[in-house]
Amino acid sequence: MAVAAERRWAIVVGIIIFVLVLMMIVTGIHWSAMPPSRVETIDPRTLHVSGEFVEANLGTTLTAEGKVVVRLVAQQYSFEPPCIVVPAGMPVTFRGTATDVVHGFVVGTTNANVMLIPGFVATFTTTFPKTGEHLMPCHEYCGTGHETMWGRVQVLPSEEFMAKAKRGERLNCVRR
Ligand SMILES: [Cu+2]
């Protein structure tokens, strides 16, 4: 009687251990086979032809919901657009990707800092407290022209930015 009861418990515990080990194996294989969640992918071969990152869609926009969104593309050896306008004191969402190799950028000494990887959309939201102009270097070694790869970011007073943005166009500060 006691032996039979012990055997029953041994079987139950054995099944529990087996299920736990199986869960570890299945989730481990699943995680290593899938891209991480909340990562947006994009085909770098068709970036310039269609979708969010076509040339006419790059720059800064004020969305219908009143959000400021900056879209940019990095390639050897420049950013498009090379001069970005943003308002001071308002949340600004950056969305960027790369066409060829891994690039990245940091905006002056702010915490706006991201890697741009072909095939993925990098996004983050930040606020620039002060107006002024920042340099925006590429900070991932991307080839022989890497040290010439710079952009600029102009932080405008929010009223000045809003006045420009109301025209509904894609803003940038590239001199024409
Ligand atoms: Cu670069």
pLDDT tens string 142-157? 999 999 999 999 999 9
User: What DSSP character marks residue 166?
Assistant: T
Please check the confidence at residue 15 and state whether its pLDDT lies above 80.
Answer: yes
Supply the pLDDT for residue 39: 80
Q: What letter represents residue 158's amino acid?
A: S
Question: Where do we find the tokens 């990245």?
Answer: 104
CA distance 53 to 47: 6
CB count within 10 Å of CB 175 equals: 6
State the Cα angle at 152 between 173 and 50, rounded to 5°. 65
Q: What is the CA(113)–ligand 1 centre distance, in A? A: 13
The CA 116 to ligand 1 mean position distance, Å, reads 9
Residue pLDDT, tens place only, 77-86: 999 999 999 9
pLDDT class of 34 with cuts at 50, 70, 90: confident
* Per-residue model confidence (pLDDT) at position 35: 67
pLDDT bucket at 176, cuts 50 / 70 / 90: low
- Cα of 75 from ligand 1 centre, angstroms: 6
Instruction: List the structure tokens of 121.
Output: 């959309």
pLDDT digits (tens, 9 = 90+) for 105-132: 999 999 999 999 999 999 999 999 999 9
Has residue 27 got a pLDDT over 90?
yes
Sign of the dihedral through C-alpha 139, 115, 80, 174: negative
C-alpha–C-alpha distance, residues 8 and 6, integer Å: 5
Q: How far is the CA of 165 from the centre of ligand 1 (A)?
A: 29
Helix, strand, or coil here: 25? Answer: helix
- Per-residue pLDDT at 52: 92
**CA-wise closest residue to 92 among 116, 114, 61, 122:** 61
Give distance in angstroms: CA of 160 to centre of ligand 1: 31
CA 137 to chain CA mean position, Å: 17
Distance 123 CA to ligand 1 centre (A): 17
Q: pLDDT above 90 covers what percent of the chain?
A: 78
